[in-house]
Amino acid sequence: MHRMAFLNRHIIGIGLAVVSLALLVILYVQYRSLSKLGEALPAARKAAISKRLWMIDDEIQNHYRSIANESLAVSPAIFSDYLADDFPALDAAVKAHFLGKPSLGIGKFFILTMSRSTGKRVLSMYDPHTGGMLEGSPTPEGWAAFVAGSPWMTLLWRNVAATREPDIAPLKMPEIKPDTLVLADSDPDHPIILRPITNEASLLVGVAGLVIDRNAFRDRILPEAIRAGAERHLLGDEFSDLTLAAFDETGGLISSTRPLREAGAEMKIPFSFAFPRWHLGVRSESVRYDQIGRRYLLTNLSLSIFMTLIIIGGSIFALRAAAREMKLSQMKTDFVSNVSHELRTPLSSIRVFGELQRLGLVRDPAKVREYGEYIETESRRLTQLINNILDFSRIESDQKSYRFVQADLTEIVSDTLKTFEVRLLQDSFSVKVETPDKPLPQTIVDPEAIGQVLVNLLDNAVKYSGEAREIRISLGRRFEFATVSVRDFGVGIPPEEREKIFERFHRVSTGLVHDVKGSGLGLSLVKHIVEAHGGRVTVQSELGRGSTFTVHLPVFDPVPQREQTPQNAGNLTEYTEETGIAP
Ligand code: ADP
């Protein structure tokens, strides 16, 4: 039972501690995994970017690959009757083969083979831009072609020798696929793509090749390819901060999608085929890779903290509502038992006294009168209790109505005291009524409801007087309010309870009033009725020395009478603690 009471009282604190602890643990775990993710993130981004760079490189390289695949698949028949000696016929065949082939970024096409009769190298070079063959002594491009083709010449020479010497066998090569392309860039100004050509007997008959036009590639093909590549592969928010750029072998910028502010790139890959010493790279304009992780961590963590705060706020709200509900339901349970007790006690007294009278056992007229009084007071108490309960339910369902009339407060007080007299006498209470020198102005009130307010205050004064037997009622005026105070010299109310006692069902359950029965409805009704009149109730109390409840009701003639103060209005109530009364 004690443990339950402890839980009930501290439910908000306990609930909040549990929720906060769980959230903190979650937050910590999340922090750990987020920071791990934050570290992994730059690596993942690097991998994603490098994958895209390879795709762009592939598209750039595809330009030369596709031209080479299409143009360099030269028929071995060109090398008429194994190796050519008829040079004009070879030139004509070469020209016929390369005529009309795509030539963007291409300097020259050529065929390199070997003379059967002399064993000398034979170069037949075609210029796709003039549509003519190159004649005379070799140009720098011609020399570059000789150099590029020289590794193949040894093999070719052996095959030429085999045609003359029956002892020498030619060396076979497996059939060469059209996409077997070889890059030869020993002359960096004239990079060359070669394809070896074999005949049907798998013997090498020569090489077909093209000389790359370095300047056309650098100035026209690459910038366009970079622009298109960035558009296709570096789309979306994730990559929007990246600038794509190409750099030559010295690290110099060739082309970029945006002007580069600093030299160099954050991530680079070498070109995979043509220009293998050149690079493709990206640079981030706004963030560095290590910043990405930190930014990610910060964003996510602040989101989580924000969510945690919302959850804690929500929990406080929910827990408070739950605690209030629990308290209310506990109060309702108490209320039922209190009310049953309140009903049973007067009923049994009434029954006993009634039986005594019926059986004629009481003869003494004084006793008859005394028992009659008991029956009367107990019935009044019952009526008051039932009135309270009925009014309470009317207020709860918003059906309580008032009949306001112009009335004299002093009269209401004395009428109420008359109905209460017997009860006060029975318990030998002395009641002093203090009235002001000047008659109080009229008020607009429901006299019955205000009577009920007074009955409740008087009833409480009697119930919570303890050993004291004195009650003082004082009437007065405070600015535009008429006041009625009911003062007792009983148990008093602890400061922390002074607001709560006006809540429905609330009863001070500790200390001196512990065993006084009641419904906990009286003061909430008092407050409701007084506020419905445009007034208010205040309480002053000193523990163990008594309490004063003061009802303030607006007077009918609201002209402020400044000269009249509570002191000269002749009251006994101390106003020192009062607040909130309009001056
Ligand atoms: P009830 O008296 O039926 O319990 P009330 O609403 O009239 O219900 O009062 C609420 C609580 O306020 C009481 O239970 C009591 O603890 C406290 N209280 C009311 N009047 C006085 C008083 N005159 N002196 C001390 N305590 C009081």
Q: Report the CATH number at residue 515.
A: 3.30.565.10
Domain total for the chain? 3
The residue among 13 and 429 whose pLDDT is bigger is 429
d(CA 567, CA 66): 112
State the closest ligand 1 atom to the C-alpha of 525, by its place in the atom list counted from 1: 6
CA angle 523/528/534 to nearest 5° reads 125
Confidence grade of residue 135 (pLDDT, cut at 50, 70, 90): confident
Spatial distance between the Cα atoms of 460 and 108, rounded to a whole number of angstroms: 117
- Does residue 145 fall inside a structural domain? yes
pLDDT for residue 569: 39
CA dist 564 and 570 (Å) reads: 10
The three-state secondary structure class of 457 is helix
Q: Are residues 320 and 413 in the same domain?
A: no
The answer to which of 148-152, 310-314, 461-465, 578-582 has the lowest mean pLDDT is: 578-582
Residue 345's pLDDT band, with cuts at 50, 70 and 90, is confident
Residue 351 placed within a domain: no
Cα(256)–Cα(211) distance, integer angstroms: 25
Rg over CA atoms, the chain? 55
Residues 78 and 43 in one domain: no
Cα–Cα distance measured from residue 44 to residue 40, given in angstroms and rounded to the nearest whole number: 6
Residue 433 near residue 473, CB atoms below 8 Å: yes
499 domain residue, yes or no: yes
460 CA to centre of ligand 1 in angstroms:
6
Examine residue 94 and state whether it is found in any structural domain, yes or no: yes
- Residue given tokens 């019955």 in the structure block: 448
Q: What ligand 1 atom has the least distance to the C-alpha of 521?
A: 6
Quick check: 474 pLDDT over 60?
A: yes
Note whether 54 and 83 are same-domain residues. no
The last residue of one of the domains, among 188, 212, 236, is 212
Strands 470-478 and 481-488: antiparallel
Examine the fold and report which residue of 165, 190, 212 is the final residue of a domain before the chain moves on: 212
**Greater model confidence, 574 or 134:** 134
Distance CA 210, CA 74 (A): 12
- Are 154 and 125 in a shared domain? yes
Which atom of ligand 1 sits closest to the CA of residue 508?
16
Q: CB–CB of 105/215 below 8 Å?
A: no
Q: Which residues line ligand 1 (CB under 6 A)?
A: 456, 460-461, 463-464, 488, 490-493, 501, 506-508, 513, 518-524, 547
Which range, 5-14, 29-38, 62-71, 567-576, has the best average confidence (pLDDT)? 62-71
Indicate whether 423 and 518 sit together in one domain.
yes
Range of the domain at 453: 401-569
**Residue in 477, 415, 484, 407 with CA at minimum distance from that of residue 442:** 407
| Amino acid making up residue 84 | A
**Are 40 and 76 in a shared domain?**
no
Q: Is residue 27 one of the residues assigned to a domain?
A: yes
Domain boundary among 212, 235, 252: 212
Say if residue 222 is exposed, middle or buried (CB neighbours under 10 Å; 0-12, 13-18, 19+).
Answer: buried
Q: Which residues pair with 471 in a beta bridge?
A: 431, 488
Look at residue 304 and tell me whether its pLDDT is greater than 80: yes
Band (pLDDT 50/70/90 cuts) for residue 486 is: very high
Mutate to test the pocket of ligand 1, among 508, 521, 551 (most ligand atoms within 8 A of CB): 508
Tokens, residue 135: 């004649």
- Residue 185 forms part of a structural domain: yes
Confidence at 520, pLDDT banded by 50, 70, 90:
confident
Give the angle subtended at the CA of 219 by the CAs of 218 and 225, to the nearest 5°. Answer: 75
Q: How far is the CA of 539 from the centre of ligand 1 (A)?
A: 11
Query: Which pLDDT belongs to residue 427?
Result: 87
- Give nearest CA residue, ligand 1 atom 23: 461
User: Minimal CA–CA distance to 524: which of 326, 322, 331, 325?
Assistant: 331
For range 334-347, the mean pLDDT: 83
Q: Of all atoms in ligand 1, which is nearest to the CA of residue 504? A: 6
Compare 6 and 72 and report the one with higher pLDDT. 72
Is there a single domain that holds both residue 47 and residue 184? no
| 486 CA: nearest ligand 1 atom | 23
- Closest residue to atom 20 of ligand 1, CA basis: 460
On whether the CB atoms of residues 537 and 487 are closer than 8 A, the answer is no
Q: What pLDDT sits at residue 82?
A: 54
User: Measured in angstroms, how far is the CA atom of residue 465 from the centroid of ligand 1?
Assistant: 11
Q: How far, rounded to the nearest angstrom, does the alpha carbon of residue 265 sit from its chain's CA centroid? A: 37
For the ranges 270-274, 389-393, 579-583, the lowest mean pLDDT is seen at 579-583
Same domain? For 426 and 473 the reply is yes
Buried b (16+ CB within 10 A) or exposed e, 311-339: eeeebeeebeeebeeebeeebeebbeebb
Q: What angle do CA 108, 110, 112 make, to 5 degrees?
A: 150
The residue ranking higher by pLDDT, 241 or 272, is 272
* Domain membership flag for residue 192: yes
Report which protein residue has its CA nearest ligand 1's atom 16. 508
- Among 335, 471, 501, which is best to mutate for testing ligand 1, by the most ligand atoms less than 8 A from CB? 501
Tokens of 458: 């008087």
428, HSE (Cβ side, Cα atoms, 13 Å): 3
pLDDT > 50? residue 580: no
- Going from the Cα of 513 to the center of ligand 1, the distance in angstroms, rounded, reads 8
With contact defined as beta carbons under 8 Å apart, do 242 and 285 qualify?
yes
Residue 164 predicted with pLDDT over 90: no
Lowest mean per-residue pLDDT among 77-86, 204-213, 268-277, 366-375: 77-86
C-alpha distances out from residue 401 to 263, 398, 423, 555, Å: 87, 9, 29, 20
The pLDDT, as a whole number, for residue 81 is 58
Long-range pairs for 180-183: beta carbons < 8 A, 24 or more residues apart? 181/65, 181/68, 181/69, 181/72, 181/273, 183/273, 183/274, 183/276
Position 129 in a domain: yes
**Per-residue pLDDT reduced to its tens digit, 89-119:** 889 999 999 999 998 999 999 999 988 888 8
Does residue 104 sit in the same domain as residue 199? yes
Question: Which atom in ligand 1 lies closest to the alpha carbon of residue 338?
Answer: 3
Same domain, 7 and 58: yes
Question: Residue 476 in contact with residue 436, Cβ under 8 Å?
Answer: yes
d(CA 324, CA 315): 14
Shared-domain flag, residues 97 and 46 = no
Residue 520 alpha carbon to ligand 1 centre in Å = 7
The answer to whether 94 and 132 have CB atoms below 8 angstroms apart is no
The amino acid occupying position 302 is S
pLDDT tens profile 413-471: 999 999 888 888 888 999 999 999 888 888 999 999 999 999 999 999 999 998 999 99
**In a shared domain, residues 122 and 78:** yes
User: By mean pLDDT, which of 47-51, 79-83, 252-256, 530-534 is the weakest?
Assistant: 79-83
